[in-house]
Structure 1
Amino acid sequence: MKFKIVSKGDKRSNKIKSTIKQYLTDFDLEYCRQEPDLVISVGGDGTFLEAFHRYVHRLDQTAFIGVHTGHLGFYADWLPDEVEKLIIEIAKTPYQVVEYPLLEVIIRSKLDKNESRFLALNESTIKTLEGSVVMDVEIKGDHFETFRGDGLCISTPSGSTAYNKALGGGIIHPSLPSIQLTEMASINNRVFRTIGSPLILPKHHTCMLKPMNDRSLIITIDHYTKTYENVKSIQCRVAKEKIRFARFRPFPFWDRVRDSFVAEGDF
């Protein structure tokens, strides 16, 4: 089996990376940067997102697993004091694959027919520095509302525990292939009106966002941010691709939620 390790870059994470790499190569596993079967993230959720996007072109061939050394390890199954056990599991035990849904975002320009396609593990957000975001929201080709406010967040089920949760969105189990559209400070008065509630869309529903003015948009895909001009539309839906997690032991989603947000402890 070929493997690659992506480290947070701090001293502790790099030491764990070196340990895992040394022992796995001693077990005759091949360290491979280009075409790994298994990518091991050592750090926090930011490191895991970095690993995901680095190998986003190999999702059907690469599985991911995380070792938690950061402040919040929602995607990480293993702790630093379990590294020795993890090494033996990787070397000796076939892993089970658990798949989570992803968000597909397609950005189209008014100036040409080119489009940019992205996949997000957590979410995509749309904001502007030029006043309010004004967008026509279409669902399955039908006009739903005209949004006015600070912005919109479109999240995956696994990403529903991230920025979406901070915005008041619901937490969705990743076994449900869906996306969630959540408002940021919408304007609601006698003139303007939005639904004022997160919308959960199934995989066969496409959400189309169409800017109603010429303002530049700041669009994020997970932790990547870029400013776009002359945006014609932003299409969002459940992607046909999925992320594949390598599981050597059960780690139920609701246990993650409880341990991350409810259970007391030091992080």
Structure 2
Amino acid sequence: MDERRNLYFYYPKDEELEKRLEPLFKLAKDNHFSIVENSNDANIIVSVGGDGAFLQAVRKTGFRQDCLYTGISRHNEAGLYCDFSLDHYDEMVHSIMNAELEVRRFPVVDVSVNDETNFLCLNEVSIRSTLIKTIVIDVFIDGNHFERFRGDGLIVATPTGSTGYNKSTHGAVVDPKTPCFQVSELASLNNNRYRTLGSSFILDKERTLRLEIIQDGNDYPIIGLDNEAYSIRNIRDLTVTLSDKIVKTVKLKNNSYWDRVKRTFL
């Protein structure tokens, strides 16, 4: 990692946080790292502020394929994307300097809206009704009709995103080394008249998921892309595939994904 000397820090610009970051900036410079103002010039992009900030950092810097991402939590809290804490920032510089890090690769999903606009998601894409009524969605897998969903909405999660919104709906936690994506329901309507699968299901990396929204007043649903909400006019359909792109992050050698899951939930 000796050649990776350009650091870009993504964080909310507030005076208190900048004071806390000053010792980290000084330590990085003392160890011959350069702190750059433009993320395009960075080899390593460092988010400060927990998992939410990490998701924002990846999105705002364009899911770069030619750099590494790492996260620092602001407090001593568990995080699935953050290996380091601002209370122990010196560990990050020491680990980089002494090659105590490994690179892990997280899959992302590609989302096409109305076959026009494309987005990438590291955690999940969700679609929900903005009206106080069920949203109706026809679900297709590889072009074949699977079910007609009625309920509050659907979540399509990556393996790393499986521990977030997906898990709160009783979806499975998936190993990020498994290239796949998961579909989970939000308050599905199941009775003698309407029926859905009633559980989450996992699709292989080669599958294509298509969600067609029935235009019955829910023409303007809310689409959640990771931790950002988008209201897009006249949404007809979403097509979701596992992207060829990945997000490369640095991790401590003795801090696996399942170690993080254990610390966070058990």
Tell me the TM-score normalized by structure 1: 0.89
Is it true that 1:5 corresponds to 2:9 in the alignment? yes
In the superposition, relative to structure 1, how do residues 174 and 13 fare at CA in structure 2: closer, same or farther (>3 Å)?
Answer: farther
Given that 1:16 and 1:42 are in contact with CA atoms closer than 8 Å, whether structure 2 keeps it comes out as no
Q: Which range is displaced more, 170-179 or 14-23?
A: 14-23
* CA positional deviation for 1:16: 4.0
Deviations along 1:197-227, whole A, 9 cap, x unmatched? 1010110001000011152111010111111
Is it true that 1:44 corresponds to 2:50 in the alignment? yes
- C-alpha distance in 1 between matches for 2:60 and 2:22: 20
Aligned residue for 2:41, secondary structure, equals coil
- C-alpha distance in 2 between matches for 1:179 and 1:166: 16
Q: In the alignment, which residue of structure 1 is the partner of 2:135?
A: 133
Is it true that 1:80 corresponds to 2:81 in the alignment? no
In the superposition, relative to structure 1, how do residues 129 and 257 fare at CA in structure 2: closer, same or farther (>3 Å)?
Answer: same
Is it true that 1:106 corresponds to 2:107 in the alignment? no
Given that 1:24 and 1:91 are in contact with CA atoms closer than 8 Å, whether structure 2 keeps it comes out as no
Given that 1:5 and 1:17 are in contact with CA atoms closer than 8 Å, whether structure 2 keeps it comes out as no
* Structure 2: gaps of 5 or more residues: none
Q: In the alignment, which residue of structure 1 is the partner of 2:31?
A: 27
Q: RMSD in angstroms over aligned alpha carbons?
A: 1.8
2:156 paired residue among 114, 131, 154: 154
Q: In the alignment, which residue of structure 2 is the partner of 1:265?
A: none
* Structure 1: gaps of 5 or more residues: 109-113, 263-267
Q: Which range is displaced more, 94-103 or 241-250?
A: 94-103
Q: Which runs of 4+ in 1 moved over 6 A?
A: none
Tell me the TM-score normalized by structure 2: 0.90
What is the aligned-residue identity percentage? Answer: 31
* CA positional deviation for 1:247: 2.5
Alignment of 1:140-219 (within 5 A): 140-214=142-216, 215=218, 216-219=220-223
Matched positions, count: 256
* CA positional deviation for 1:31: 1.6
Q: In the alignment, which residue of structure 2 is the partner of 1:61?
A: 66
- C-alpha distance in 1 between matches for 2:33 and 2:227: 31
* CA positional deviation for 1:17: 2.7
